[in-house]
Amino acid sequence: MHQTAAIGCDWGTSSLRAYRLGGDGAVLERRETARGIMAVEAGGFEAVFEDSVGDWLDAAAGTPVVLSGMIGSRQGWREAPYLACPADIAGLAAALLPVDLARGRRIWIAPGLSHRDSGGTPDVMRGEEVQILGAQEAIGDAPALVCLPGTHSKWARVRDGQVLGFSTHMTGEVFEAVRGHTILGRMIDAEAWDEPAFLDGLVRGRAPGGLLGHLFGVRAKGLFGELDDRTAGSYLSGLMIGHELDAALGAENADTEIEGGTAGEICLIGAGRLVELYAIALTHLGRDCRILPADVVAVGHLRLARALIDGMA
């Protein structure tokens, strides 16, 4: 077994992904289970953790262990208070929450981030901040925009290794609710895909009129034969993502003077079809983007582990 420099766990709502990391940042071993926090009974987190990586702990005494994601939420193992933006690696490392195991080992939970928009409304993220931290080398120090598509998509503004602020968009969850629980769902073949319809919806989502009116337009276009069951779902997807991009990119433009420059290339973090759709949408809108893997979170765990050790030295 190669020497372990750190152990990281991305422990979310539905899954637990664990990484055994080498000193060069390489993932020496990766494990994934469906034991997300919602599948663990109260008081059972330590037992699940031991079942998942106990042998790694046995073989790597003293190796730092960092957990991120919803494991640090109110419904998780221990609630780690949010760190307010702007935030960097030093702030995140200083805010790590210690948890002592029955075996006499101490592990650490990342705090998550908070941010308030111009109107004072709070926003939060847990887990995504460690993915952004892991992507820092690829992002660089210039002003950048990072998107993490998902059920609740995150858009973060970063510069010089700091997360300056971010916004959350419930696009994925609302799409599923509209498709599954409104009259629009009756006109959608969930297995069908049509890229031209997706792009039409994307353009419509960035036009005046508001989301609620645009949603009924899906129904009306069906009545007039402009959408059918094989194109309506793609159009709806483009429409929802279009509204999200309009808000996120509009906020980027509004922040230009404050943040010191508009971002060029947009970094997408994640995997699967949803991330590909965001790349298609951004490219169609003339924005350069690249996709970084979701497992970049492991590099974030390693960076936090090293900062933790440096802080204790």
pLDDT value at residue 261: 47
Look over the chain and give the mean of its residue pLDDT values, rounded to a whole number. Answer: 93
**Residues 132-144, mean pLDDT to the nearest whole number:** 92
CB 297 within 8 A of CB 55: no
Segments in 38-127 forming alpha helices (H)? 45-59, 89-94
Residue bearing tokens 């003293």 = 62
Per-residue pLDDT, 66? 98
Cα distance between residue 206 and residue 78, in whole Å: 41
What's the average model confidence in pLDDT over 117-142? 94
- Mean pLDDT across 123-147: 95
- Convert the pLDDT of each residue in 142-193 to its tens digit: 999 999 999 999 999 999 999 999 999 999 999 999 999 999 999 999 999 9
The pLDDT score that the predictor gives to residue 262 is 54
User: CA 249: distance to chain centroid?
Assistant: 17
CA distance 292 to 133: 12
Closest CA to 266 of 281, 287, 239, 243: 287
Q: How far apart are CA 128 and CA 147, in angstroms?
A: 10
DSSP string, 176-240: HHHHHHSGGGGG--TT---HHHHHHHHHHHTSTT-HHHHHHHHHHHHHTTS--TTTHHHHHHHHH
CB 126 within 8 A of CB 136: no
Distance CA 166, CA 146 (A): 9
Distances (CA, A) of 92 to 87, 117, 169, 229: 7, 21, 24, 47
Structural domains of the chain in order of their starting residue, each with its CATH number: 6-138 (3.30.420.300), 169-292 (3.30.420.310)
Dump pLDDT digits (tens) for 10-34: 999 999 999 999 988 899 999 999 9
Band of pLDDT at residue 257, cut at 50, 70 and 90: very low
pLDDT tens readout for residues 51-79 = 999 999 999 988 999 999 999 999 999 99
Please tell me the distance from the alpha carbon of residue 276 to that of residue 235, in angstroms, as a whole number. 16
Question: Strand 144-148 vs strand 122-125: parallel, antiparallel, or unpaired?
Answer: unpaired
pLDDT of 213: 97
| H/E segment holding residue 10 | strand 6-11
Q: 1: pLDDT confidence band, cut at 50, 70 and 90?
A: low
Q: What is the DSSP letter of 67?
A: E
Burial class (CB in 10 A: 0-12, 13-18, 19+), 208: exposed
State how far the Cα of 13 lies from the Cα of 212, in Å rounded to an integer. 29
Q: Residue written as tokens 């090293």?
A: 306
Compute the C-alpha angle 186/190/195, nearest 5°: 115
User: What contacts 117, CB < 8 A, 6 or more positions away?
Assistant: 123, 165, 167
Q: What value does the mean pLDDT take over residues 117-122?
A: 94
Question: Where does the pLDDT of residue 223 fall: very low under 50, low under 70, confident under 90, or very high at 90 and above?
Answer: very high
What does the pLDDT read at residue 260? 43
For residue 158, list its beta bridge partners. 144, 163
**Residue 81: its H or E element:** none
Q: Could you report the per-residue pLDDT of 73-104, keeping only the tens digit for each? A: 999 999 999 999 999 999 999 999 999 999 99
pLDDT in tens, 262-311: 567 899 999 899 999 999 999 999 999 999 999 999 999 999 999 998 87
